[in-house]
């Protein structure tokens, strides 16, 4: 990210949102809303004094509710750019019109409470969409007790906890601060489940294995249990990692966990969380008492994927992820020329796959730039100028706004770069002046004869 920001040909716009897209391949016009940061990006040196001095705290979204941040903050230490932002919902100045501590202590004079949002318009030739995913909220699955029992965490929460710059400084601990002696990791929470998401989220098996490894490293005598349907260690070196964990003494239990409860039946279970499941390899119901439960929750489309799809005219698959032009032969292009997708916005995938897809999308864009011209659809519509009466019927009907009216000649004219060849204009033209190439009236009528006679 840091090298992207310092690259001379890349302009990085964080804390910004696309509000409007118009145009076509090679000539997109994109309107972007830059939200007010209340910090002058040119003046700020990133020293961090404002964050130290700010007296107000709020939940840190990046730590998924485990840690706190100030009202002026960067989400995590490595965030790019290293320029903080003021959250008006937790800043005392915005709420009660007092404080301004950050302004007093900022030596660079970068705090600017008067900043307002800015609209900028950029001209671009192509667009790559990499909006990522949302983490599935497991609280609707009440039997797993997320949000009910203190020590049930999501995968992302555990990840933050194990991170050296995270809310606990990398210490694995329960809500009361003590160290867990046993941990259960439940796979496929919200994925491979027809009640929530039918698809496999692909990454959970491997990150669950990684968690086991981290626990083993940080708490060597901990008992670790993995509850799985089946382990999908599909990538390079993944199966070997699984074998290594078996040697490290992780307990693998084949069976989707049915319930997490705190109702103890024996003295050993007292004060613990008990995972109930059917161990399908020994064909028996089991109760496993543990201190901590980690739910490997699904990856799901972003909550605003529908609006993004509308903005960029993208299609979505039944599961809500953005649809590629062809699942095998054109996996990064979309139905709109010049717009590409990469990463988890297209479907759940791990980091190597995301990097490969992003590289492919970048290469597709670069090949268009180096060629300097784009190939357009062969099947476009053309206007026979001799026949066109200039009635303008087609102008209103064209779904791609590809037809304009030539005021000089009083004729309709079609922009071939915009035309997708749908032929609506050809069907509607009262003078029969528009020909839909490769789908001419004669061709279709002969096909009708061909299939019937």
Partner 1 sequence: MSFEPKIVGFLCNWCSYAAADLAGTSRKKYAPNVRVIRVMCSGRVDPTFVLKAFQCGADGVLVCG
Q: Which residues sit at the interface with partner 1, rule CB under 8 A? A: 335, 379, 397, 399, 420-424, 426-428, 436, 439, 441, 444-445, 447-449, 451-453
Q: Which helix (H) or strand (E) holds 223?
A: strand 223-228
Minimal distance, residue 270 CB to partner 1, in Å: 53
Q: Which helix (H) or strand (E) holds 293?
A: strand 292-297
- Give the whole-angstrom CA distance, residue 369 versus residue 380: 23
- Give the whole-angstrom CA distance, residue 313 versus residue 53: 45
- Give the whole-angstrom CA distance, residue 270 versus residue 263: 8
Instruction: Rank residues 331 and 421 by Cβ distance to partner 1 and give the closer one.
Output: 421
Interhelix angle 238-247/204-218, rounded to 10 degrees, is 40
Minimal distance, residue 430 CB to partner 1, in Å: 11
Q: What is the DSSP letter of 267?
A: G
Minimal distance, residue 337 CB to partner 1, in Å: 14
Minimal distance, residue 332 CB to partner 1, in Å: 19
Instruction: Rank residues 359 and 447 by Cβ distance to partner 1 and give the closer one.
Output: 447
Minimal distance, residue 395 CB to partner 1, in Å: 14
Instruction: Rank residues 191 and 380 by Cβ distance to partner 1 and give the closer one.
Output: 380
* SS3 of 369-421: HHHCCCCCCCCCEEECCCCCCCCCHHHHHCCCCCEEEECCCCEEEECCCCCCC
Instruction: Rank residues 186 and 426 by Cβ distance to partner 1 and give the closer one.
Output: 426
* Beta carbons within 10 angstroms of residue 182's beta carbon: 20
Q: What is the DSSP letter of 160?
A: H
Minimal distance, residue 451 CB to partner 1, in Å: 4
Instruction: Rank residues 75 and 327 by Cβ distance to partner 1 and give the closer one.
Output: 327
Instruction: Rank residues 206 and 426 by Cβ distance to partner 1 and give the closer one.
Output: 426
- What does DSSP say about strands 152-154 and 292-297: parallel, antiparallel, or unpaired? parallel
Minimal distance, residue 336 CB to partner 1, in Å: 12
Question: Nearest Cα to 318, choosing from 197, 195, 203, 140?
Answer: 197
Instruction: Write the CB contacts of 288 (distance below 8 Å, at least 6 apart in sequence).
Output: 184, 225, 253, 274, 275, 277
Instruction: Rank residues 300 and 337 by Cβ distance to partner 1 and give the closer one.
Output: 337
Question: Nearest Cα to 195, choosing from 42, 276, 298, 126?
Answer: 298
Minimal distance, residue 399 CB to partner 1, in Å: 8
Instruction: Rank residues 263 and 448 by Cβ distance to partner 1 and give the closer one.
Output: 448
Structure tokens at 386: 């001799």
Structure tokens at 162: 């194990």
Instruction: Rank residues 47 and 379 by Cβ distance to partner 1 and give the closer one.
Output: 379
Minimal distance, residue 432 CB to partner 1, in Å: 9
């Amino acid at each position: 990210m840091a090298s992207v920001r310092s690259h001379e040909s890349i302009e990085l716009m964080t804390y910004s949102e696309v509000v409007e897209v118009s145009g076509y391949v090679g000539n997109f016009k994109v309107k972007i809303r830059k939200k007010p940061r209340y910090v002058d990006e040119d003046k700020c040196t990133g020293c961090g004094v404002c964050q130290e001095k700010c007296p107000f705290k709020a939940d840190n979204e990046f730590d998924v509710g485990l840690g706190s941040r100030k009202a002026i903050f960067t989400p995590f230490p490595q965030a790019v750019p290293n320029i903080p932002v003021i959250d008006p919902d937790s800043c005392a100045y915005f709420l009660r019109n007092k404080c301004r501590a950050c302004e007093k202590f900022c030596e660079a004079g970068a705090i600017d409470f008067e900043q307002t949002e800015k609209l900028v318009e950029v001209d671009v030739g192509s667009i790559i969409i990499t909006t990522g995913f949302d983490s599935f909220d497991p609280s609707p699955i009440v039997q797993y007790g997320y949000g009910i029992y203190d020590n049930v965490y999501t995968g992302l929460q555990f990840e933050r906890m194990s991170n050296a710059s995270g809310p606990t400084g990398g210490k694995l601990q329960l809500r009361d601060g003590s160290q867990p002696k046993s941990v259960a990791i439940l796979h496929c929470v919200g994925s491979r489940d027809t009640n929530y998401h039918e698809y496999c989220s692909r990454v959970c098996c491997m990150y669950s294995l990684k968690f086991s490894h981290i626990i083993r490293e940080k708490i060597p005598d901990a008992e670790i249990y993995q509850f799985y349907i089946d382990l999908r260690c599909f990538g390079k070196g993944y199966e070997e990692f699984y074998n290594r964990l078996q040697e490290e003494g992780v307990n693998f239990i084949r069976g989707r966990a049915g319930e997490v409860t705190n109702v103890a039946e024996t003295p050993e279970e007292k004060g613990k969380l008990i995972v109930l499941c059917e161990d399908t390899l020994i064909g028996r119901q089991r109760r496993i008492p543990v201190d901590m439960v980690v739910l490997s929750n699904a990856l799901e489309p972003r909550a605003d994927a529908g609006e993004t799809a509308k903005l960029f005219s993208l299609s979505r698959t039944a599961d809500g992820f953005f649809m590629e032009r062809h699942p095998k032969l054109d996996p990064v292009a979309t139905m709109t020329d010049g717009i590409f997708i990469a990463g988890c916005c297209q479907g759940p995938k791990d980091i190597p796959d995301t990097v490969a897809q992003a590289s492919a999308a970048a290469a597709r864009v670069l090949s268009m730039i180096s060629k300097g011209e784009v190939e357009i659809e062969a099947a476009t519509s053309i206007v026979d100028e001799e026949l066109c009466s200039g009635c303008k019927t087609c102008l209103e009907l064209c779904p791609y706004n590809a037809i304009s009216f030539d005021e000089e000649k009083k004729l309709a004219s079609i922009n071939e770069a915009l035309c997708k060849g749908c032929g609506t204009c050809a069907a509607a033209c009262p003078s029969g002046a528009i020909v839909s190439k490769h789908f001419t009236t004669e061709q279709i009528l002969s096909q009708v004869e061909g299939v019937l006679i």
